[in-house]
Amino acid sequence: MIIAGIDVGSNSVRMLIAELIDGKIANILHTGRGITRLGGDLSHTGELNPEGVEKTLQLFETFNEAIEKYNVDKVLAVATSAVREAKDSIAFIKRANDIGIPLQAISGDDEAYYTYLGVSSLFGGVDCIIYDIGGGSSELIFVKDSKIVKIQSIPIGVVKLADRFDFSEPLDGEALELCEEYIRSNFQIAFNEGTFGIETIIGTAGSVTSVAAIDLKMDKYDPTIINGYTLDWETLDRIEAQLSSMNAEARLSIVGVERGREDLLIPGIMIIKGIMAHAGVKRSSISDYGLREGLIISAGRGL
């Protein structure tokens, strides 16, 4: 069975077409993606970004071409935080459906579950805290003895932070500290019951993989190298200091920085460090697999 999984996020939109055999992803046939900033300014307007809407719908048209080319049997398309929260989401979903993408908004808990399916297909059997840093929300999945013991969706993501704090110019220590404290206070609720003895954390989604790409000086993104890569606290500090000393445009000169993420990488690093601090760890494993892969795996389970 050939499945297309589409993840419509607050900053980026990604599609994966893969062959599913015996409930496992056997062959990756096609990937597509684009940064559309769908949730840009949502915190202020309450609506999806008009330019982001048009970019996303244009991207859906190219997705349709790939879906037809690879004779996809089933398309699973989900929208996360931005579409969950926007007051004009129904109109956007209708437009997506009208051009052939069966889009639906999912809850934070559902988003976390699909992410768990995707990440655990690579890291199965590991007691861990899986975290997914999005544009509008971040999901935490506590996994013990191959079972989910807790899911927490935190309404903070890198696009929301960029709307609240200005990351376009060089940042001083005071500006960084204000944002760090905001992140710490909001993530405290997720750890108020402790970590269930879990000492491994695994991060997924664009912010995390982009920081890994910077550390690897990766001019062409390679998910096979990203999967299983480790970032430690010292590396995060070093990259954060480097990015904070530059304005957004200058950051694009750094190998691994993708246009559209230049103002989102610093809040992404802050969230990673905030999760590390609450979990009491100094390093994080990285997974390129996440929500898209989880959607595809769910098709084999009839979910």
* pLDDT (0 to 100) of residue 172: 85
Task: Tell me: do 188 and 59 sit in the same domain.
Answer: no
Domain CATH code at residue 66: 3.30.420.40
Q: In this structure, is residue 113 part of a structural domain?
A: no
Task: Tell me: do 102 and 212 sit in the same domain.
Answer: no
Task: Tell me: do 53 and 139 sit in the same domain.
Answer: no
Q: Where are the beta strands (DSSP E) in the chain?
A: 2-8, 12-21, 24-35, 74-79, 103-105, 128-133, 138-144, 147-154, 201-204, 230-232, 283-287
Does the pLDDT of residue 174 top 90, yes or no?
no
Q: In this structure, is residue 303 part of a structural domain?
A: no
Task: Tell me: do 237 and 141 sit in the same domain.
Answer: yes
Alpha carbon distance 201, 207 (integer Å):
15
* pLDDT (0 to 100) of residue 302: 66
Task: Tell me: do 90 and 158 sit in the same domain.
Answer: no
Q: In this structure, is residue 294 part of a structural domain?
A: no
Task: Tell me: do 102 and 130 sit in the same domain.
Answer: no
Written as one letter, the residue type at 247 is N
Task: Tell me: do 156 and 44 sit in the same domain.
Answer: no
* Mean pLDDT value across the chain: 94
235-245 pLDDT tens trace: 999 999 999 99
Contact by Cβ (8 Å): 281, 104: no
207-231 pLDDT tens trace: 999 999 999 999 999 999 999 999 9
Task: Tell me: do 92 and 21 sit in the same domain.
Answer: yes
* pLDDT (0 to 100) of residue 303: 58
Q: In this structure, is residue 222 part of a structural domain?
A: yes
Task: Tell me: do 175 and 65 sit in the same domain.
Answer: no
* pLDDT (0 to 100) of residue 75: 96
Which range of residues forms the domain containing residue 219?
A: 122-287
- Region 286-296: mean pLDDT is 96
119-141 pLDDT tens trace: 999 998 899 999 999 988 999 99
Q: In this structure, is residue 242 part of a structural domain?
A: yes
Contact by Cβ (8 Å): 152, 139: yes
- Region 19-39: mean pLDDT is 93
- Domain count across the chain: 2
User: What's the angle, vertex CA 179, arms to CA 174 and CA 180, rounded to 5?
Assistant: 95
Q: In this structure, is residue 116 part of a structural domain?
A: no
Q: In this structure, is residue 11 part of a structural domain?
A: yes
Domain CATH code at residue 184: 3.30.420.150
70-95 pLDDT tens trace: 999 999 999 999 999 999 999 999 99
Q: In this structure, is residue 281 part of a structural domain?
A: yes
246-276 pLDDT tens trace: 999 999 999 999 999 999 999 999 999 999 9
